[in-house]
Amino acid sequence: MQAAALLDSDPQAAARAAAELLKQYPGHRATTVMLGTALRSCGDSQALTIFEELAATQPDSALLQLEFGRTLAALGHDQQAIATLERVVQLEPNLAEAWRELASLYAVRGDTRACDAAHARFTSLSPPEQHLAEAEVAFAHGRLNTAESLLKRQLSREPKDWAAMRMLGEVMGQREDYIEAERLLGECLKLAPGYSRARFDLARLLYSQQKADPVLPLLERLLAFDPEDLLYRSLQASAYGLLGQTERATQIVSVLLKEFPNDERIWLSYGHGQRIGGHPAEAIEAYRKCIELRADFGEAWFSLANLKTFRFSSAEIDAMRSHLARENLSYDDRLQFEFALGKALEDTRNFAESFEHYSRGNELRRSAVAYDGDGNTRLVERSRALYTREFFAARAGFGSQSEEPIFIIGLPRAGSTLLEQILSSHSQVEGTRELPDVPALALELGVRETPGVPPAYPQSVAHLSNAELTRLGARYLAQTLPNRLGGKPRFIDKMPSNFMHLGLIQLMLPRARIIDARRSPLACCFSNFKQHFQSGVWFTYNLEDLGRYYRDYVHLMAHFDTVLPGRVHRVNYETLVADLEGEVRRLLDYCGLPFEDQCLRFHETRRVVQTASSEQVRQPLYAQGVDQWRNYEPWLGKLKEALGDVLPRA
């Protein structure tokens, strides 16, 4: 027993102890097994001789054959190990550890389907997360701090507990700490390459960041093993939709609806497809079907509210109040109901109660995410320090000289979707979506802050040569190509947060057009506060965070106006509403595009629009939305204070 206790901590000592015992008790089987196990841990080939002899003496012992197979694998004899372990599962089909070993060996061989099947068999025999039940319950009830603490404690004890890694990745994804979530799920899949649940979690995580391209290969592998799985097929349809391949997406969802006519999530997916495709009546019908199937399905109620043009009946408003009064309503449903009811009450002009529900929804979401306003301000300060006139002058002519991209930057809810719709009504311009590629490049260059370690970005950009910046520009163009289904010469990237990386864009794509979509601070910030973004827009869940973020944005853009005068074309939403034709002509002139009358009839353009403004940009431009924030002015004191010097003085 003392020798066995040393196996994990000091296998060499365990081997010595076992050898001494065998001198006293020659041929003692348990001690011989222990000696072989210790030697295997040390990488000693003598272990193979020991287990080969043991396996030969008892060919029908599944446990001895398992240890022989493990030893063959540990010493690099993969094919022999697979053959041995396949015999083990014939001898004892319910030996979970044999299936786990086989899954790893099939992965090395590149047999992904066999790997996934073996791992699925292992998890069915030995559920890998049964020891994490407390953390799982905490996560299910929205107690993310508790779940995170429990899982980190487990990983401190067992650093290679891949089941705990997967669950912690899920927690971090819920917190929208996508970098850490991706890292954890990636490590989990290295340790357990056949773990389909982790692979699906990674696919969902990437999709939530609008990274549709890498989602599809993950789903192809999952579907190769389980082609009938509802969740896999549904997410595949959503990924195709995100890439603008609406016909493929619709085909998949239509088949699913026939197979699962009573599944509310399929109806939700169908509704989303109809919404972004410009079919609001069909979307409303689908969302109502969701509610018919599950009355407390918060996301369906929110999806109706998110159409912006939809109005709830008084009976529907009462129903939402009733659902919110329930104590057992899930975190996610409660969150969605709060925002939906806030919008419904706003439409009835009950602004005080509407603000209460918007505030509760934001408080719920803010409690789950880790947003660091100080870190955002520090990034702005580092950017202003680095990007000077002299810095850009010394790098004149650097980067790819392509004129294809048109970047629309700023804050969400500032009119960027409207500008995209206007520009993509032009015969030479293709609208895509909020592409994640520039922020991903910034991550590679060290934008993320780690406690105690100064971030490398944007100062790391200063070390890039002309050739490196040119390659980055070319890489951006290549990565975004799958989103350009129309093949037009120009395309739009409307990721608002790209304003944080304007210096990088200037250096790698100096001839790209950059348009700053600007909206007055109180209107813009409150529009963000009342909009429930499903992921990613962390600063919108708190009025002080919003005001500070807007202030940082204005200060950074003012800096670039000084060091790169005229480089960025600014379009103020209020001016656009007041003088549509004049602003459109100036916008097209900046982009080097001839005027086309259809840009003024943007609402007639039929295209996929994936943002919250999808219904609004399909209507003529009206001015009534400009001052909607004034209905909530009595409750915006903290926002005004946070905006500080960027708030116009009366």
Average pLDDT score over residue span 610-615:
48
Q: What is the DSSP track for 523-571?
A: HHHHHHHT---SSS-GGGGSHHHHHHHHHHHHHHHHHHHHHSTTSEEEE
User: How high does pLDDT run on average in the chain?
Assistant: 90
What digits encode the pLDDT tens for the residues 549-584?
999 999 999 999 999 999 999 999 999 999 999 999
Asked if the model's pLDDT at residue 610 lies above 60, the reply is no
pLDDT at position 618: 47
Asked if the model's pLDDT at residue 611 lies above 60, the reply is no
Query: Looking at per-residue confidence, does 185 or 57 come out higher?
Result: 185
What digits encode the pLDDT tens for the residues 388-428?
999 999 999 999 999 999 999 999 999 999 999 999 999 99
Q: What percentage of residues in the chain have a pLDDT greater than 90?
A: 67
What digits encode the pLDDT tens for the residues 480-538?
998 888 889 999 999 999 999 999 999 999 999 999 999 999 999 999 999 998 766 88
Asked if the model's pLDDT at residue 245 lies above 50, the reply is yes
Q: What is the DSSP track for 433-463?
A: E---HHHHHHHHTT-S-BTTB---TTGGGGG
Average pLDDT score over residue span 229-234:
93
Average pLDDT score over residue span 296-321:
95
pLDDT at position 622: 58
Asked if the model's pLDDT at residue 620 lies above 60, the reply is no
- Select the highest-mean-pLDDT range: 55-64, 70-79, 418-427: 418-427
SS3 readout for 592-623: CCCCCHHHCCHHHCCCCCCCCCCCHHHCCCCC
Asked if the model's pLDDT at residue 289 lies above 70, the reply is yes
Q: What is the pLDDT confidence band of residue 623, given thresholds at 50, 70 and 90?
A: low
514 strand-pairing partners: 407, 568
Angle at 343 between CA 342 and CA 345, to 5 degrees: 70
Asked if the model's pLDDT at residue 118 lies above 90, the reply is yes
pLDDT at position 223: 96
Query: Looking at per-residue confidence, does 508 or 621 come out higher?
Result: 508
Please give the Cα distance from 614 to 611 (Å, whole number).
6
Asked if the model's pLDDT at residue 619 lies above 60, the reply is no
Asked if the model's pLDDT at residue 72 lies above 50, the reply is yes
Q: 79: exposed, middle or buried (C-beta count within 10 Å: 0-12, 13-18, 19+)?
A: exposed
CB 218, CB 238: distance < 8 Å: no
Asked if the model's pLDDT at residue 607 lies above 50, the reply is no
Q: What is the pLDDT confidence band of residue 594, given thresholds at 50, 70 and 90?
A: very high
Average pLDDT score over residue span 250-259:
93
Q: What is the pLDDT confidence band of residue 614, given thresholds at 50, 70 and 90?
A: very low
Please give the Cα distance from 417 to 188 (Å, whole number).
38
pLDDT at position 612: 46
Extract the tokens encoding 188. 């989990």
Average pLDDT score over residue span 206-215:
86
Q: What percentage of residues in the chain have a pLDDT greater than 70?
A: 95
Angle of helix 178-191 relative to helix 196-208, nearest 10 degrees, comes to 160
- Select the highest-mean-pLDDT range: 29-38, 271-280, 522-531: 522-531
Residue among 244, 209, 220 at smallest CA distance from 491: 244
Angle at 222 between CA 221 and CA 225, to 5 degrees: 90
CB 438, CB 508: distance < 8 Å: no
Domains, the chain, ordered by start: 2-125 (1.25.40.10), 130-307 (1.25.40.10), 373-445+464-646 (3.40.50.300)
What digits encode the pLDDT tens for the residues 122-181?
999 988 888 999 999 888 877 888 999 999 999 999 999 999 999 999 999 888 788 899
pLDDT at position 488: 95
pLDDT at position 42: 79
Kindly compute the dihedral angle of the four CA atoms of residues 301, 302, 308, 310, in this order, to the nearest 10 degrees. Answer: 0
What digits encode the pLDDT tens for the residues 330-379?
989 999 999 999 999 999 999 999 999 999 999 999 888 878 899 999 99
Please give the Cα distance from 591 to 404 (Å, whole number).
10
